[in-house]
Structure 1
Amino acid sequence: MDLVEILTYGFIQRALVAGTLIALLCSVLGVFLVLRRMSLIGDGLAHVTFGSAAIALALKLYSASALLVSLPIVLLSSLGILKLTEKARLSGDAAIGIVSSVGISAGIILASVGGGYNVDLLSYLFGNILSITQEEVFIAAGLFCIVMVLMLLFYHELLAVTLSEEMARVSGIRTNLISAVLVLLTALSVVLAMKLVGIMLISSLLILPAASALQLARSFKACVCMSAIQGCSSVIAGIFVSFVTNLPTSATVVLLNLACFGCAFLARYLLDPKRSN
């Protein structure tokens, strides 16, 4: 089976469109999160997404409807993490841990009450981009536009807060508002990535492309571009490889990203050993 024949399948076309949009969002946001040492927020919100998916399935909602149920829950949870760090004097990882544990516990209880882990819930856990529907593609495209517009509007503020939160605050930037914007954008991306790589592997899509780019990039813009290129390339290649080899798409995408990180780390060491120390 050649490449042209594979591209004639409708489910492959939908997977490529949605996967590319989701990978682009996660890769770009990942740079901000990794530099701000907030990369684990993706993992915490993924656990909340599991709970929201269990709620949707308990209500007999599937596909695009399940995404619409997950969105408000995950958005509110992301703001909850920020409020815990501000009001309860907790570190970011502690706040993420609390929200994460609540989300996963709620999901387990709801799954148990609903009769266990059925096929639909497992697809959210491990991802199945090849089963994405046309409605989900439209939702992904719409949310992609929203996230990109907001990111462009707040780009300079996000950059300032990422590089130095104290300097940004002194400069008059409302750092709390910008932090809220960042976690809300991350929450949107996490919900979208649920179908691509699954709840268990979402954090890898946020972290690995950014971590690879940071090995070689000499500027922030170069880092964002390299991260976006790796994220999109790994998803596109992962879809084709998984289809041909009959392997899980989500795990294939993550392993390709891991291979890219290994190559970037090795290249950094070989090109500039002093920078690697």
Structure 2
Amino acid sequence: MPELIEKFSFYLEFPFVRYAIIVGVLVSLCSSLLGVTLVLKRYSYIGDGLSHVAFGALAIASVLKLTNNMLLILPVTVAVAVLLLCTGKNARIKGDAAIAMVSVGALAIGYLLMNIFSTSANISGDVCTTLFGSTSILTLKVGEVYLCIALSCIVLLTFVLFYHKIFAITFDENFARATGVNTTIFNLMIAVIVAVIIVLAMNLVGALLVSALVVFPALSAMRVFKSFFSVTVAAASISVACSLIGIVIAILAGTPVGSTIVAADIAVFGLCYLTSLVRDKRG
């Protein structure tokens, strides 16, 4: 154990490790907050859909050789999130069908563009890194870290300020509308926040594993706690803890960061599930 601590202390001297920890904690925290709302509103699969859209936008940005691909990825992902979350009830193609169509279409087009216009000799490696977040979290630049901090602060502040409104539309949107809450505006706000979180999380776990950050902490907390507030706090704590554990193990053991974080989330979900079973039998 002392050797592992000494080894990790040595790695902490490198800026990229500190950047990875900062971004990992912030992204995990933001993902878990909205994850509870998305799970309860039965939009759990939205993370996959939007992450694939972000992948397609990234491919287009690479083809256009944009110096800052976030200028294209973020607006495109936000626009699709608004279409999926805010027009889902009135659209001709509804719910899971729309998400599946957008998800598969964006993924296919993105991969096609990366193959046709690729200037890299290792296209498979580039795609794997983007989809699974193999190394991107450990190659963050200072500007990307500051951008993540700024966007995370906006997400956290928005959630805290409008917590009661988010709570209302999560459990009974029709009742919230009847009491005077502008549900359209708040659904739009949730859509934008979710899109921002998805784009940020791509660097941490990759496009294919983003929804794990959104879903697993919320489901784990729901096994143990019952109230919306306690579930939200527990989900945030679980998400941050799993992110830290995953990053530390990945650095020390040399495993992929994203997959290690998700594995930690799965392990915690298993523990919470077993805890709920034991409690139910006793009760």
Q: Residue type of the partner of 2:24?
A: G
> Structure 1 stretches (4+) deviating beyond 3 angstroms?
118-122
Instruction: State which drifts further: 236-245 or 194-203.
Output: 236-245
Q: Which structure 2 residues correspond to residues 74-223 of structure 1 after superposition, within 5 A?
A: 74-82=77-85, 84-115=87-118, 117=123, 119-127=125-133, 128=135, 129-223=137-231
Distance 2:210 2:84 in 1: 18
Gaps of 5+ in 1: none
1:244-276 CA distance string (max 9 Å, x none): 11110110000000000000000011112388x
Shift of 1:6: 2.5
2:237 counterpart (229, 243, 256): 229
1:117-156 CA distance string (max 9 Å, x none): 3544432211131122211111100111111222223211
Give the structure 1 partner of residue 65 of structure 2. 60
1:221-260 CA distance string (max 9 Å, x none): 1111111111111111111101111110110000000000
Distance 1:172 1:96 in 2: 30
Shift of 1:218: 2.7
Q: Which structure 2 residues correspond to residues 12-23 of structure 1 after superposition, within 5 A?
A: 12-23=17-28
RMSD of the alignment, in Å? 1.8
Distance 1:89 1:66 in 2: 32
Give the structure 1 partner of residue 270 of structure 2. 262
Contact 1:123–1:195 under 8 Å retained in 2: no
Describe the SS at the equivalent of 1:104.
helix
Distance 1:67 1:189 in 2: 13
Shift of 1:101: 2.8
Contact 1:84–1:95 under 8 Å retained in 2: no
Instruction: State which drifts further: 187-196 or 239-248.
Output: 239-248
Q: TM-score, normalised by structure 1?
A: 0.93
Instruction: State which drifts further: 180-189 or 191-200.
Output: 180-189
Shift of 1:4: 2.1
Distance 1:5 1:220 in 2: 41
Instruction: State which drifts further: 207-216 or 147-156.
Output: 147-156
Shift of 1:111: 1.3
Q: Residue type of the partner of 1:182?
A: I
1:246 counterpart = 2:251:
no
Q: Residue type of the partner of 1:80?
A: L
Q: TM-score, normalised by structure 2?
A: 0.91
Q: Calculate percent identity across the aligned residue pairs.
A: 35
Contact 2:89–2:95 under 8 Å retained in 1: no
User: How many residues are paired up?
Assistant: 273
Distance 2:26 2:37 in 1: 18
Instruction: State which drifts further: 66-75 or 187-196.
Output: 66-75
1:3-32 CA distance string (max 9 Å, x none): 322221211100000110000000111011
Gaps of 5+ in 2: none
Distance 1:98 1:175 in 2: 26
